Amino acid sequence: MTDHERYEAVVVGCGPGGAAAAANLARNGVETLVLERGVDAGSKNVSGGLIYAEESAPYTIDGLFPDFREEASERPVTENYIHNVAGDKVKTFDIGDLHHHDTAWADSVLRRRMDSWLARRVHELTRETGGGLLTEVHVTGLLREKGEIVGVTCEELDPIEADIVVAADGVNSELARDAGLMDWEDPDEWFQGVKAVAEMDPDVVDERFDIDEDEGEAHLFSGDLFDGVRGGGFLYTNEASLSIGTVFHLDSIAEERAEPQELLDSLLTHPLMAQWLGDDYHEVEYSAKLVPDSKKAALTAPHQDRLVVVGDAAGQMQAQGPIIKGMNHAVTAGALAAEAFADARSRGDPHRAGEFYEKKLHDEGVMDKLRPTSYRAVGKIGELGPIDGVANAVAESAVGRFGVRAAEGLVERAYNSPTLVSMIPDTKLPYVTLPTILGEELGERVTDENHVQPPELDDRIGDLTYDVGDPHIELVDNSFEASGTAVTACPVSAKDFGGGCYRDEMVQTNGHEEHLVSLDTQPCVECGTCAVVADTDWEHPAGGKGVEFEQG
C-alpha cells in the first residue's frame, strides 16, 4: 500500500469551504491537492445566495481572498425586508437590524462566477506548495488502511493518500456518508431550495428597486402563498439579474406532496412581484439544492481519523430566523480545519487535526451559532404537537389577532432579534399562520397586475446544460409507497409530466395492478432530494458529467 500517490492535504470540493481550507493550508505551507468534480468550480453549486461576513467570525472570505468583493460577488445587500402575505394583502417589515446584526458586510453572489474566481486563486496558491487544483475528478469515497481513513478513492484517478482529507463536497457529501457521519434518512433535517435567475439590465435593477449600482436589496416572503407548505421565498438583486427562489422544509414538501417548481411560480406570479419583475421576465436558469438545517444536522464532531468535514457536508447551514447563513460558516470552518492541521503538524502529530478542529469550532463560537442553546431549550418544545396546536389556535383567535394589531412595533422588533429568531420552532406558526395573520390584520392590498408567465418545467430542463453520463442514481425500491414522493418532491419531476426524472405508473402484473415508480437520471440537477424521500442508491455523476450550472 506504499505506492499510492501522496499529498500532505487533499481537499475535496472547491466551493467556499474547500477554497477557504485550501487557501489557509497553502498559506501554512502545506502541500495541498484540491479535487473538484465539476468542469469548473461552481458548475455544480447553487445557493440563494447571500454571503455574509460576520464581525464575530475568525475568518471571512475577503480576508482569505482579497479583492473577493470587487471580483467575485454581485451587489452588497444594503436593505432587507420581510413581506407577510395574506392573499393580495401584504405587511412588510424592515429587518435591517437583524440583517446588520454582527454583519461586517453581506453580498449577493452567483456561484458559477464566484467559485470559478475562487478556484483560480486556489490553484495559484496551492501550486506554490507542490499541489494544485484539478477539475472533473469525482472523489468516490475514503481510502482506508487497516480500517483507518488514510486518503481518498477517485473515479478518474488512482487512490491518493494524505495526512488530512478535507471533505468540502457539499450537502450530498459522499465522504461524510462513507465515514458514517451523515445519512439520507430524515426529511426534517433538510430544506429544499429552488431558484430562478432572471436576466435584468443593471439600469433596470437600479430603477425598479430605487438603488444605486453599489447597493442591493434582499426581500423575503412568507404567509399563505405557498399552500401551507412550511418555508418562504426570497428575492436578491445581482449586478445584472435577480435571484428569486423558495426554500421549504423537506418534510413539509414530502407530506403535502407539493411541487416545488409550482411553489416558486406562486411567488413569481404574486401581485407583489410585479413592481420588480415588470413585463419582461426572462428566466435564464432554474436550479435546486438541498440545504441542511444545522439545528438538527450540524455534526458536533465533524471528523474521523484523518478526515475533517466542512460546510454543507457537515450540516453547517444556519437558518437565523428567515435569514440563511451557510457560506460564511463554510469559510470559517474550512479555514479553521486548515489551522487545526497546521497546529497538529507543528506539534508533530498531524493526525490529531480533527480533534483540534472540533475544539476550534466550539471555542470560536461557530458551533453555538449552528446549534443554538436557545433553540434546544425553547424551539424544540414548540415543535411538540399539542403545544403547536394551542399556539396556532391562540394566534388565529380574536385575542391573538388583537394582540398582533396592538403590538405591531413589537412584532417588527421581535423579527429583528437574533436571540428570538434563533428560538423559532419548525412549525406552521412562524412560517404560515403568523405571517398570514400579519398580512390580514396589518397588510395593505397590492393592486399591481403581475404579467409574469414562468416557463414550463420542460423548458426549464431544456435550458439547462447537461453532459449526460452513466446513470448515477439507482432506484432500490420502485414501489410507489417507498419512492412515490420523489415524483412530486423532485424539482425536475412532476405528476403527469413525462420529461422529468421520476414518474409513476400503474402496471398490470399477473392479474393484479401495481403502482410503480420509474427513474431517468438524464434531467437530474443533483440536488439529492430523492436520496432522502425515496429509496435510492445515490452517487454523484463522474467528473465533468451531469448538469452544468452557468449561474448557480
Cβ atoms < 10 Å from Cβ of 347? 10
**Distance from chain centroid for Cα 143:** 28
Question: Residues interacting with another protein, by CB under 8 A?
Answer: 5, 7, 33, 35, 127, 131-132, 134, 137, 156-158, 160
Output the smallest distance, CB 125 to another protein, in A: 14
Q: Which is nearer to another protein, 127 or 347 (CB)?
A: 127
Output the smallest distance, CB 468 to another protein, in A: 20
Output the smallest distance, CB 547 to another protein, in A: 23
Is the dihedral angle over the CA atoms 204, 209, 212, 214 positive or is it negative?
Answer: negative
d(CA 173, CA 413): 38
Separate counts of helices (H) and strands (E) for the chain: 26, 26
Output the smallest distance, CB 114 to another protein, in A: 21
Q: Which is nearer to another protein, 137 or 442 (CB)?
A: 137
d(CA 83, CA 438): 9
Output the smallest distance, CB 132 to another protein, in A: 4
Q: Which residue has the cell 407583489?
A: 272
Output the smallest distance, CB 481 to another protein, in A: 42
Output the smallest distance, CB 156 to another protein, in A: 8
Residue-level length of the chain: 552
DSSP 190-253: EEEEEEEEEE--HHHHHHHHT--TT--EEEEEEEGGGTT-SEEEEEEE-SSEEEEEEEEEHHHH
Output the smallest distance, CB 489 to another protein, in A: 37
Q: Which residue has the cell 420542460?
A: 458
Q: Which is nearer to another protein, 138 or 460 (CB)?
A: 138
Amino acid at 412: E
Output the smallest distance, CB 135 to another protein, in A: 9
Helix (H) or strand (E) holding 550: none
List phi, psi (to 5°) of 546. 85, -160
Output the smallest distance, CB 35 to another protein, in A: 8
Output the smallest distance, CB 265 to another protein, in A: 29
Q: Which is nearer to another protein, 17 or 131 (CB)?
A: 131
Asked if 277 and 199 count as a contact pair (C-beta separation under 8 A), the reply is no
d(CA 491, CA 509): 30
d(CA 92, CA 110): 26
Output the smallest distance, CB 134 to another protein, in A: 5
DSSP 120-162: HHHHHHHHTTT-EEESS--EEEEEEETTEEEEEEESSS--EEE
Q: Give the CA angle between residues 248, 251, 256 to the nearest 5°.
A: 85
Q: Which is nearer to another protein, 35 or 501 (CB)?
A: 35
Q: Which is nearer to another protein, 124 or 145 (CB)?
A: 124
Q: Which is nearer to another protein, 5 or 467 (CB)?
A: 5
Output the smallest distance, CB 157 to another protein, in A: 6
Q: Which is nearer to another protein, 134 or 394 (CB)?
A: 134
Q: Which is nearer to another protein, 5 or 207 (CB)?
A: 5
DSSP 492-516: T--TT-TTSSEEEEEEEETTEEEEE
- For the chain, the 3-state helix, strand and coil shares in percent, each to the nearest 5, are 40, 25, 35
Q: Which is nearer to another protein, 124 or 448 (CB)?
A: 124
Q: Which residue has the cell 468535514?
A: 309
- The region that residue 79 occupies, defined by phi over 0 for left and psi between -120 and 50 for alpha, beta otherwise, is beta
Q: Which is nearer to another protein, 131 or 223 (CB)?
A: 131
Q: Which is nearer to another protein, 42 or 159 (CB)?
A: 159
**Distance from chain centroid for Cα 258:** 19
CA atoms within 13 A of residue 439's CA, in its CB half-sphere = 24
Cα-based distances in Å from 286 to 523, 524, 546, 552: 12, 12, 15, 9
Cβ atoms < 10 Å from Cβ of 377? 10
- Which of 180, 115, 121 has the alpha carbon at shortest distance from 147? 180
Q: Which is nearer to another protein, 157 or 414 (CB)?
A: 157
